[in-house]
Structure formats: C-alpha cells, structure tokens
Structure 1
Amino acid sequence: MNKFKRFEINTAGRDFAVGDVHGHFTKLQAALDAIGFNPVVDRLFSVGDLVDRGPESADVNTWLAKPWFFAVQGNHEAMVYEAHRVNSSNGFGVHLANGGVWFYGLSSLDQDAYANLLADLPVAIEVETPEGLVGIVHADCPFPVWSMLRDALTGLMPGLLNVDAVCQWSRSRITDENCEGISDVRAVIVGHTPVRQPAILGNVYHIDTGAWMGGHFTLIDLATLECYPPVNPKLNWDWEERA
C-alpha cells in the first residue's frame, strides 16, 4: 500500500473533489451530471468513506475501476480491512454497527477482494492545480504543514504514531472551529463530519454535506475552490441546526 499519492496537473479538463459517498453512487452520478462532468477529461477525487450505510456499497469496485475516479482511504474503508483481515470480533461489531451489513452478506472470496481493494487506497492525495497544490485526506491533516504529512506517509519521518488514525478519524479541527489552516498547500479537502453546507476553516474545506443522510453531495472544483451547489454565507454549517 502506498499511503501517499500525487497527481500532476490536469491540462485537459477539470478536477473535482466530493464528500463522503457511503454507498450512494447513483446519487453521486446525478450530482456529476448536474455540473456537466466529462469523464473523458475531468477527474473526481473522493475524501473516502465510499462504503457502508448506503444501498450501493458493493458498487465501490466498479467506481474504483473508473480511470477518472480516485479516493483516499476513510475510516470506513479502514474498518472493512481491519474487521476482515485482522479478524477481530470487536472490529467486526464496530463495523456492523456502523453500516457494514452489506459486507458480511458477501462470499468469503468477495470479502477478500473488497478488503484488499479498500486496503490499497492511499491515506492522502495531493493534486497539482493551475492555482497551486491541493491536499485531500478523509478527516484531518495531523500536522500544521502539508509537507510533514507527505514525509510521514512516505517513510521520511519514521516512528510517528497515529498519523493514519488522525487522517481518518479526527474531528478536533471542526469541533474546535480551528481556523489556523495548513501551510505549504493551497487548500486541504476533507469529509468525515457531516455539515449542512461546506465549512471552510482557514484553508481546510469540510465538504461532507450528508448526501447519505438526507442531505446533498457537494462537489468542489480544485482549481477555483468553487463549490457546487454554492456556499450560502447566510447559513450556518452546523448540521444540528439544519431546518
């Protein structure tokens, strides 16, 4: 598993990122159609949590085979791998309670195939754009400088603990409303914590707008950082305050 992956600039089309999918690929395709996404030249980057909770989790293999679709490993992908490969009864219970029912109805061969596919996803992605570098992780960047995360995940800073866990599980930045941001990168795109519209804290964009729980998908253009649908400055992003 290569924990860090870099993508060079897309000179032919546009690059977008999308929030947590959670097995709602038909709804995701409708969101792509609405912005005129062109799979011949455009690319889509996912903040992870492709599976669990939704009705189409088993379609994740079809989507990851698309040449224009790329994803980081979210905590739900990690749960699939850990529960299956580590064979932990505790991990199994946690995964099952968090939408993993679809996985345990599969044959053992299919479970192996899905677990291996999801385990192979990188923890972080960086994408070069005409306006500068954009980073993508599932939950948060554990360092104040993006290059430190790159070094940690590529083996240049060995011995650090919990780097993957923070990238996949942390909610501290959004809970604390920390606006300090991440240096050495134009923006960092994350999901994990549902918001009713994108929460922009410094240069960290939280874009899981709860499509899987009755909300909608947010797509963000990595070059312009424009969100679709647009951010409404008159609305709070806190999901609990959703009307």
Structure 2
Amino acid sequence: MQIIQYFERNNWGRDFAVGDIHGHFTRLQKALDDAGFDPLTDRLFSVGDLVDRGPECQSVLEWLAKPWFHPVQGNHEDIAIRCARGNPIDEGIYSRNGGDWFMAMDYRHRQEFGAAFEALPTAIEVETRQGLIGIVHADCPVADWSDLETELLLNRVARDRAMWSRGRIESEDRTGVSGIRAVVVGHTPLRRPAVLGNVWHIDTGGWLPDGSGHFTLLNLDSLEAIPPVAPKLQWESA
C-alpha cells in the first residue's frame, strides 16, 4: 500500500472529488451523469467510506477497477480490513454502522474485499493548474502537508486521525494546512460543503437512506461545486 498516492495534472479533462459514498453507487453515477462526467478524460477522487450503510456495497470492487476512480481509505474500509484480518472489532457497533454485509461474507470473500481496501492509500495528492490538492478521509493530522508522509509512516495516531477525527469540524478550527493549496475531506455529513481555512468538507450525505442529502462534486482545479451552492450560503461553516 502506498501511504500517499500522487497524480499528475490532468491535461485532458476535469478532476472531481466526492464525499462519502457508503454503498450508493447508482446515486453517485447519476450525480456524475448530471455533471456531464466523461470517463475518457475526467477523473473522480473519493474521500473514502465507499461501503457500509447502502445497498450496493458489493459493487465496490467493480468501481475500484475503473481506471478513472481513485479513492483513499476511510474509517469504514479500516474496520473491514481489521475484520478480514481477524483482529478484534465490536461487531455490534459494526453492525449498527452498516457492516452486516461484510460480516456475512465467507472467509474467502472477506479476504478479497479486505485486500482491495488495504491497497488504498491513506492520502492522495493531485496536481492542478492552480496548485497541489490533498485528499484524506477525515482530517489532516499535521499543520504542514510536507510532514504528512513521515507522520503517517511513524505515528499510528496520525493515521487514525486522518481516517477518524472530527476535531477540526467540531471545533470550527480555521487554521488550515500549510504547504498545499487545499485539503479535501469527508467523514462528517453536512447540509452544505464547508471550508475551514483551506480544508474543504464535502460529505453532503448523498448516501443518507431518506434521500435528504446529495453528492457534491468538487472541481479540484476551480474549487467550485456541482451542484452549485447559493452565493450567500457558499462554504458556510459547520
């Protein structure tokens, strides 16, 4: 597994990031279709949490095989990896958070899905015309992006924060992350995208079972959202 996966600038099409998917790939595909996504030229970067809660978790392997789809590891992938390894997990909590589909699989299939999730990076870097964009699932655990790889390699706490922390959004910490144009995260569902410093929170609940949320696609070059946010509300704080 690469700790950080780097992508060169897309000179042929657009790059988007999307929030948590949670097994709702049909809804995601509709959002892509509505945005005119072109799989021949465009790329989609995911903040992770590809599975659990939704009805299409088994489709994740098909999506991971798409050459234009590039996710980081989320906390739900982290749980599945530990479950596949046979590490202790709280099965009651995992079940309440949508993990029944994974626990119901036989050993061979758990290993297949667990290996696919373990191959995902903890962070992604995407070069754009306007500068470097970073992607992690929950939060950036360092003040300067250039320190991230070392911290993730040497410090389990940093890796856990990258995949599990809600500290920045809960405290409305606007200090941002230096050494990078913007960091894109998900993990915490919001009514609208929010930006704290240069950290963009884009999980707008496209996976919610009652359909009250939607998938936000963030253009990584312009940092504009699809669907667009009303000007007076754009990037309101959490």
- Correspondences of 1:117-196 after superposition (within 5 Å): 117-153=116-152, 155=153, 158=154, 160-196=155-191
Letter in 1 for 2:183: V
Aligned equivalent of 1:203, options 195, 198, 202: 198
Q: Distance in 2 between matches of 1:145 and 1:232?
A: 31
Q: Is the 8 A contact 1:84 1:92 kept in 2?
A: no
Residue type of the partner of 1:198?
Answer: P
Partner of residue 228, structure 1: 226
For the residues of structure 1 that align with 2:53 and 2:237, how far apart are their CA atoms? 22
Unaligned segments of structure 1, at least 5 residues: 239-243
Task: Tell me the residue number matched to 1:78.
Answer: 78
Cα offset, 1:3, TM superposition: 1.5
Q: Give identity over the alignment, percent.
A: 55
Give, in angstroms, the shift of residue 4 of structure 1.
1.1
For 1:193 and 1:233, the matched residues in 2 are separated by 22
The one-letter code sitting in structure 1 at the alignment partner of 2:188 is T
Q: CA separation in 2, counterparts of 1:140 and 1:125? A: 13
Q: What is the CA distance between 1:123 and its match in structure 2?
A: 0.5
Residues 23-65 of structure 1, C-alpha deviations (whole Å, 9 max, x = no match): 0000000000011000001100000000000000110000000
Contact 1:123 1:167 in 2 (8 A): yes
CA deviation vs aligned residue, 1:182-216 (integer Å, no higher than 9, x gap): 11100000000000000111111000001111300
CA distance in 1, matches of 2:137, 2:116: 17
Aligned positions of 1:8-157 closer than 5 A: 8-88=8-88, 90-153=89-152, 155=153
In the TM superposition, residue 86 of structure 1 has moved relative to its aligned partner by 3.2
**Counterparts of 1:190 and 1:148, CA distance in 2:** 18
Q: CA deviation at 1:93?
A: 3.1
Tell me, yes or no, if the aligned pair for 1:52 and 1:76 is still in contact at 8 Å: yes
TM-score if structure 2 supplies the norm length?
A: 0.94
Confirm or deny: 8 A CA contact 2:196 2:237 kept in the other structure: no
Whichever residue aligns with residue 17 of structure 2, its letter is: A
Q: Is the 8 A contact 1:79 1:91 kept in 2?
A: no
RMSD after superposition: 1.3
Task: Provide the C-alpha distance between the structure 2 equivalents of 1:151 and 1:11, rounded to a whole number of angstroms.
Answer: 30
8 A Cα contact 1:72 1:138, kept in partner: yes
SS at match of 1:212: coil
Question: What is the count of residue pairs matched by the alignment?
Answer: 233
Distance, in Å, in 1 between the alignment partners of 2:199 and 2:159 is 18
Query: What does residue 5 of structure 2 align with?
Result: 5
CA shift, 1:232, in A, is 2.6
Deviation at 1:237, TM superposition (A): 5.6
Q: 1:142 to 1:87 in 2, by over 3 A?
A: closer
Q: Distance in 1 between matches of 2:47 and 2:188?
A: 11
Amino acid at match of 1:144: A
**How far apart are the structure 2 equivalents of 1:130 and 1:5?**
18
Q: Please give the alpha-carbon distance, in whole angstroms, between the structure 1 residues aligned to 2:132 and 2:199.
A: 13
**Residues 83 and 91 in structure 1, CA contact (< 8 A), matched pair in contact too:** no
